[in-house]
Amino acid sequence: MRSPEPTPTDVEAIADILRKRAPLLELLADAPRDQRDLRDGLDVSRSTVYKSLQRLQKAGLITEENGRYALTGFGRLAWQRHDDYIARLSRLDAGRRLIETLPDDQQLPPTLFEHGRIAVPGRHAPERPLDRLSNLGERADHLRVLSPSGMPRFLGDIHANVEADEQTATIVTEVDAMTRLESSYERFGEAVTADGLDLYSVSEELPYALVLFDSDTLGLFGYEDGLLVGAAFTDCRDVLAWGERTFERIFDCAERI
């Protein structure tokens, strides 16, 4: 006989159980255990473990055989989904300040933050996002860059790589930033004429920086009052496709220097 479809209340109750009994479920996800194993692993009383097991059994999340408890097929899948959700939420929380710098009117792929690698400055690693940018940039054959500032810190390195035939790059930045690059980089004139390094400017403000490393990885950088607050990196195909479209849309409006 087919089991009845769960009601919303049932699903909400299961979600609540998964949240409240997470430490116990995490132990059972490793291997079946008896009550003594669970008490020792959780450092709680016998009655606490007993009540938790009763509730988990009633919800169909665990089963008992010969005094040992194990996740049911449904319980294992439900726990995996719950665990994945918490991990994704944790990554979102880690990138919260970065996310808050991004414009509300632009639809950015949530997978960039849910599955991507978040890099934010730390007390003992203030250069973490830029270090990640540098490491990826050194390995890339071609860079496509949208940046409010033009990433002046890396222009010299990119120029040197282009001259050594190790890399090509297309950089799009704001008009005012291009003016600052011209005054701050002493070899700017040579960079403009370098074969393989294409510099463009746009009149619109760029709300974030976006870097496409070949066609394999995307980096998105958020700023607050001109200061870099963090970056997200991913090789997700959907996010890369979004990045390609975003770059092309702005590039089509740019003027070559």
Tens-place pLDDT, residues 239-254: 999 999 999 999 999 9
Average pLDDT over residues 174-197: 93
CATH class as words, domain 8-89: mainly alpha
- pLDDT value of residue 94: 65
Sign of CA dihedral 189, 193, 194, 200: positive
Mean pLDDT, the chain, integer: 89
Q: For residue 95, what are the contacts with CB-CB under 8 A and spacing of at least 6?
A: 113, 118, 120, 230, 232
Q: Parse the chain into domains and list their residue ranges.
A: 8-89, 102-256
Look up residue 6 and give its DSSP letter. P
In this prediction the pTM is: 0.70
CATH code, 102-256: 3.30.870.10
Question: Has residue 157 got a pLDDT over 60?
Answer: yes
